[in-house]
Amino acid sequence: MGKRGVFFKGISDIESDTSAVSGATSRGATSSGADSSREIINEALANISPMLSDETQKEAMKIIHYTINNVKMGKVVDDKEVKKLIKNMVEEIIANQDAMLNLIKIKSHDEYTFSHSVNVCMIATLIGARQQIPVDTLEELAFGAMLQDLGKIRVSDEILFKLGRLNEKEIEEIRKHSLYSLQILSENNRIGELPKKIAYQHHERWHGQGYPQRISGENIELLARITAVADVYDALTTDRPYRKKFLPYDAVRLIVSRADDEFYADTVRSFVESVSIYPLGSLVRLNTEEIGMIIKINRKAIVRPTIRILFDSSSNIMEEPINIDLIKDRERYVICAIDEEEVYQMHTDQTKETKE
Ligand SMILES: [Fe+2]
| Domain segments of the chain as ranges | 6-46+280-355, 54-275
Give the predicted TM-score (pTM) of the model: 0.88
How many angstroms separate the CA atoms of 354 and 34, rounded? 13
Ligand 1 centroid to Cα of residue 234, in Å, is 12
Long-range pairs for 174-179: beta carbons < 8 A, 24 or more residues apart: 175/203, 175/211, 175/212, 176/151, 176/212, 177/149, 177/151, 177/152, 178/148, 178/151, 178/202, 178/203, 178/211, 178/212, 179/151, 179/212
Ligand 1 centroid to Cα of residue 97, in Å, is 25
Ligand 1 centroid to Cα of residue 224, in Å, is 11
Ligand 1 centroid to Cα of residue 78, in Å, is 20
Ligand 1 centroid to Cα of residue 150, in Å, is 8
Strand order in the sheet with 334-338: 317-325, 306-311, 291-296, 283-286, 334-338
Ligand 1 centroid to Cα of residue 312, in Å, is 42
Q: What is the pLDDT along the chain (356 residues), one digit of tens a residue?
A: 333 333 333 222 222 222 222 333 333 334 457 788 999 999 999 999 999 999 999 999 999 999 999 999 999 999 999 999 999 999 999 999 999 999 999 877 778 889 999 999 999 999 999 999 999 999 999 999 999 999 999 999 899 888 888 999 999 999 999 999 999 999 999 999 999 999 999 999 999 999 999 999 999 999 999 999 999 999 999 988 778 899 999 999 999 999 999 999 999 999 999 999 999 999 999 999 999 999 999 988 999 999 999 999 999 999 999 999 999 999 999 999 999 988 988 877 666 665 55
Ligand 1 centroid to Cα of residue 152, in Å, is 8
Q: In the chain, what is the greatest distance between 2 CA atoms, to the nearest angstrom?
A: 68
Domain topology for 54-275: Hypothetical protein af1432 (1.10.3210)
Ramachandran region, residue 163 (left: φ > 0; alpha: ψ -120 to 50; beta: rest)? alpha
Ligand 1 centroid to Cα of residue 136, in Å, is 23
State the alpha helices, DSSP H only, in the chain.
11-16, 34-46, 54-72, 79-95, 112-130, 135-147, 157-160, 168-175, 177-186, 193-201, 222-236, 248-257, 265-275, 340-355
Give the single-character DSSP code of 53: -
Ligand 1 centroid to Cα of residue 201, in Å, is 9
Concatenating the DSSP letter of every residue in 75-133 gives PPP-HHHHHHHHHHHHHHHHHTTTSB--PPPPSSGGGHHHHHHHHHHHHHHHHHHHTT-
Ramachandran region, residue 319 (left: φ > 0; alpha: ψ -120 to 50; beta: rest)? alpha
